[in-house]
Amino acid sequence: MAAALQCRFFGHIIDVEKALAVRAAALPKHRRDLRFECVKCGKPVGPRAAGERHSAHFVHLQANPDCPITDPRLDF
């Protein structure tokens, strides 16, 4: 199962690049109020920037085993 590349943000589907831009543009005190939601289960997710071994994607803030979207491990 692929990682999540989109989320729901104030009712709109946005991609991870947009979410990262939104978070980067927000004042630090407002960042915690940004609510990105999983497109599948609606639980809070956060955008993770691309790294050496993964492209940018969303991860659940709290793991949700019932969600079809999986969170790639950081340490693979």
Binding residues for Zn ion (CB under 5 A)? 38, 40-41, 67, 69
Residue with Cβ nearer Zn ion (28 or 62): 62
Q: Which residue has the tokens 């709290």?
A: 62
Residue with Cβ nearer Zn ion (19 or 67): 67
Give min distance, CB of 44 to Zn ion, in A: 9
Comparing CA positions, the residue from 46, 44, 47 lying closest to residue 56 is 47
Give min distance, CB of 51 to Zn ion, in A: 21
Give min distance, CB of 37 to Zn ion, in A: 8
Q: Given strand 12-15, what is the order of strands in its sheet? A: 12-15, 6-9, 36-38, 44-48, 57-60
